[in-house]
């Protein structure tokens, strides 16, 4: 595939040991066609594309996100059981600005990974990753059920419900999904009124979006938030999680396309992920908007890698 780059060993390095103590020693490098069917396998797939951010008038640079997340993850300790595999499957890229084509290609690769019973973890890249990612999940589930029930849980400051009249961008993925799927199950955690205009709030209301604003999405309201998450998940059979790093405060995540000091903190996201994973409904996950051009001391890359580290070391039902 012209827009696919196989994984590279030089992306994975760190301290060495004789007992796979670090993830760079645990990870396997395989192209998607070489990955075997297994339910105890996490597969990292990079979405090295910021064309959607560029179209959305954001700060470009997110195409470098997958690399720095890998580099941060490589140095982290490995606590995975021997029977659990971690595979790097390489990157999909967008060299010619053809975002629509790349989103279609991404959907196909996600479909292939899910057909192999793996758990995909996608590394972005702009939040336009969500449209292709969702469609890959949908295609996989439609083979078993013509009307699959998929819930989207988005940790984000933005609804990303802008219209796609001028074509898709990093701000349109959930508008596109809503227009193509009925019913549309969408829970957005961390929404900020200073990051969404009145029209976006109106679109969210018309699309029956469930959301928790940032002032409530805090650790002191964990019990209430967990109740809302559980209620949302009861309505669906499968959950797709997408984490937009620009939803975090820039104190934690300066290296993003649209930073703000008023974002949420990692602790409430980790608490929420625990509830989602424990449900047994999580089918796939991505991390979006990692922009190394604006990172400070690799802080955002380390946050993204720590989120991945938490997910792969969680106990899946």
Annotated binding site for Mn(2+): 127, 156, 158, 160, 244, 246
Backbone angles phi, psi at 275, to 5 degrees: -65, -40
CA distance linking residue 18 with residue 115, whole number of Å? 34
Residue 280: other Cβ atoms inside 10 A: 11
What is 12-81 written as a DSSP string? Answer: ------SS--BHHHH-EE--GGGPPP-SSEEEEEEEE--HHHHHTT----GGGHHHHHHHHHHTSB----
- The bridge status of strand 85-93 relative to strand 185-191 is unpaired
What does the block give as tokens for 60? 């470009």
Q: Which residues are annotated as a binding site?
A: 127, 156, 158, 160, 244, 246
- Those residues whose C-beta lies under 8 Å from the C-beta of residue 196, and which sit 6 or more positions away, are 157, 158, 159, 204
């Amino acid at each position: 595939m012209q827009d696919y780059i196989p994984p590279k060993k030089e992306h994975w390095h760190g301290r060495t040991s004789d007992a796979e103590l670090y993830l760079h020693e645990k990870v396997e490098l395989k192209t998607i066609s070489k990955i075997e069917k297994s339910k105890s396998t996490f597969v990292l797939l990079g979405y090295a594309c910021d064309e959607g951010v560029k179209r959305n008038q954001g700060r470009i640079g997110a195409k470098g996100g997958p690399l720095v997340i890998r580099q941060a993850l490589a140095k982290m300790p490995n606590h995975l059981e021997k029977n659990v595999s971690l595979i790097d499957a390489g990157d999909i890229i967008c060299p010619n600005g053809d975002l629509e084509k790349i989103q279609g290609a991404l959907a196909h690769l996600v479909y292939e990974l899910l057909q192999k019973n793996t758990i995909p973890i996608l590394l972005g890249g702009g939040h336009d990753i969500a449209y292709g990612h969702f469609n890959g999940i949908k295609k996989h589930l439609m083979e078993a059920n013509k009307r699959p029930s998929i819930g989207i849980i988005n940790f984000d400051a933005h609804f990303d419900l802008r219209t796609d009249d001028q074509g898709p961008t990093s701000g349109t993925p959930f508008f596109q999904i809503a227009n193509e799927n009925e019913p549309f199950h969408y829970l957005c955690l961390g929404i900020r009124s200073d990051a969404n205009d009145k029209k976006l709030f109106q679109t969210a209301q018309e699309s029956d979006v469930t959301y928790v604003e940032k002032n409530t999405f805090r650790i002191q309201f964990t019990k209430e938030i967990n109740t809302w998450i559980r209620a949302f998940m009861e309505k669906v059979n499968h959950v797709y999680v997408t984490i937009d790093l620009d939803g975090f405060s820039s104190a934690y995540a300066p290296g993003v396309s649209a930073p703000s000091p008023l974002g949420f903190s990692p602790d409430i996201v980790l608490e929420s992920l625990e509830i989602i994973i424990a449900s047994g409904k999580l089918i796939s996950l991505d991390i979006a908007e990692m922009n190394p051009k604006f990172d400070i001391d690799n802080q955002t890359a380390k946050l993204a890698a720590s989120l991945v580290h938490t997910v792969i070391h969680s106990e899946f039902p």
